[in-house]
Amino acid sequence: MNIENAQVQMRKGILEFCILHIISRGEVYASDMLEELTSARIMVVEGTLYPLLTRLKNAGLLDYKWVESTSGPPRKYYLLTETGQASLKGMNDTWQELSDSVNSIVSKTDKHKAAINGLTTVESPAPAAETSPDTPSGEN
Amino acid sequence: MNIENAQVQMRKGILEFCILHIISRGEVYASDMLEELTSARIMVVEGTLYPLLTRLKNAGLLDYKWVESTSGPPRKYYLLTETGQASLKGMNDTWQELSDSVNSIVSKTDKHKAAINGLTTVESPAPAAETSPDTPSGEN
DNA sequence: CAAAGGTACTATGCAATGCAAGGTACTTTA
DNA sequence: TAAAGTACCTTGCATTGCATAGTACCTTTG
């Protein structure tokens, strides 16, 4: 997949985790969540956030209350339910383990490159590998 | 989503990234990739890995060659194409930025909890929030 | 030599989430 | 009163990881 698509795919599961974190700090409405995601360089828009909030509400992880605004329509302020807090605890572990796993693989590659280059950190292109024609069975 | 599903969702995009890293170190076949994923605590099975390898091959990121085995059927040894190497470079940045984003959000929450608890690091349960009845419009 | 076991690989439909695009509704301003 | 700003909603689609069932080759055993 191309880089943009890779970014989309890598956000799956992550966005919910981030949202639960943001809401866990106290009641907050959608626009504030978007601001914080943007400042953390996770670029999402309302069309992504509202369906996610609805899904989390329906799954029992969130509750909300309407609050009148002094400058526009009323707003939904969200907070975590106890289910949501429990879910967030679990996802903390999930994220930590996944992140450790990925970083251990990445650092093995970096060490491998360092070893090949005699401890220099300059990356040199690997020699192009020859592709032999398929043998036992045809192209899949 | 529950924790197991969260793990599945969080792997989207990540698995390809890990596979590209593993293959970037030199030609390798599927069973070795599975071993390394397992040792990094990313538990996948053949039914997940082979379709991914096929997809990456079809996308031009990988090549393979058949190699006779001394103890079973022939094996496909995979290596990255130049496209695959370029893709991996891009995904390094994608992963790094996403990881930094998530960790910044997570650490903001931790600081918030520490502030609430008067700089102790012991987590205490947040008081359950009251949910008011819906007001301007019905339940979504 | 045939059957069984081990190993390697293939194919495919499904579940689930993030996304894009179009939309409604309330409040404020001109 | 209409336009602009703000807040929220809906829905179909793209994509990947997964589970399951399957094929095929090689080695070992009977």
> How far B99 CA lies from chain A's nearest CA (Å)?
8
Confidence grade of residue B118 (pLDDT, cut at 50, 70, 90): confident
Q: Shortest CA–C1' contact from B46: which nucleotide?
A: C9
Taking residues B16-33, report their average pLDDT: 96
Footprint of strand D on the protein (CB under 7 A): A 1, 5, 9, 29-31, 46-47, 50-51, 53-54, 69, 71-76, 136-137; B 7-8, 11-16, 44-48, 51-52, 55, 69-74, 137, 140
How far apart CA B64 and CA B72 sit, in angstroms, is 18
pLDDT of residue A72: 86
> Can you list the domains of chain A with their CATH numbers?
3-116 (1.10.10.10)
SS3 A137: coil
Q: Shortest CA–C1' contact from B12: which nucleotide?
A: D16
Spell out the alpha helix ranges (H) of chain B: 3-11, 14-24, 30-39, 46-58, 82-116
pLDDT of residue B79: 96
pLDDT of residue B129: 38
User: What is the ipTM, given to two decimal places?
Assistant: 0.85
In a mutagenesis test of the B interface, which of A89, A94, A105, A110 is the best target, namely the one with the most B β-carbons within 10 Å?
A: A105
| Cβ contact B50:B33 at 8 Å | no
pLDDT of residue A118: 78
Residue with tokens 């019905």: B138
Q: Is the pLDDT at B140 greater than 80, yes or no?
A: no
Which portions of chain A are predicted below pLDDT 70?
A: 1, 119-140
pLDDT of residue B117: 85
Residues B52-100: tens digit of each pLDDT: 999 999 999 999 999 998 888 999 999 999 999 999 999 999 999 999 9
Q: Which of A2, A13, A26 is nearest to B2 (CA)?
A: A13
Quick one: DSSP state of residue A70?
Answer: S
Q: Which of A57, A61, A60 is nearest to A91 (CA)?
A: A61
